[in-house]
Amino acid sequence: MATASPTFNLISSEDVEGTKVADSAGKDIGEIDHLMIDKVSGNVRYAVISFGGFLGLGHRHYPVPWNALKYDMSREAYIANITEQQLKDAPEFSDDSWTSRDWESDWHEHFGTQPYWLQEGGRSSIASGTSASAGEPSGISPEPPMTPREPLT
């Protein structure tokens, strides 16, 4: 494990990969396969979720907007305000999709998240805008621990 402490706010991407993802009801819907990071800002934009299949066969990959995930320290899992059915019903995805802002807009709309390019400073933030002081469930951090710092200027 590359992380020095499981309670430390910084985490290696190596440790994020393979982390379980559950829906808001707590049902496991997959795991993080890899992250998509903006090359210029260094901000995480998407977590590519692997789900479905059996014994490693037939699983699918779908990028989920990073701001749709919250890390639950007590469950050691990311909680998504989406369901497995939403993943199955998501707009068509291919490796060429990353070059289309229209595709990204459709994708964010499907998952009910604000596109990162419309957020203040382009930084990831939790889609719901809730915080622990606003009644967020205990043990869930208001920002995923992989939120990168702002680029140096």
Q: For the chain, give every domain's residue range.
A: 13-134
Which helix H or strand E contains 85, and what residues bound it? helix 84-88
State how far the Cα of 140 lies from the Cα of 122, in Å rounded to an integer.
23
Tokens 């719901």, residue? Answer: 128
Chain mean position to CA 48: 8
What pLDDT band is residue 5 in, cutting at 50, 70 and 90?
low
State whether residue 64 is helix, strand or coil: strand
117: amino acid identity, one letter? W
State whether residue 63 is helix, strand or coil: strand
In percent, the amount of the chain with pLDDT more than 70 equals 67
What pLDDT band is residue 84 in, cutting at 50, 70 and 90?
confident
Report the mean per-residue pLDDT for the chain.
74
CB atoms within 10 A of CB 43: 21
Least confident of 45-49, 54-58, 67-71: 54-58
CB-based contact 110:91 (threshold 8 Å): yes
Q: 90 exposed, middle or buried (CB, 10 Å; 0-12, 13-18, 19+)? A: middle
Mean pLDDT of 81-92: 81
The CATH class of 13-134 is mainly beta
Mean pLDDT of 76-100: 83
Tokens 């995930």, residue? Answer: 69
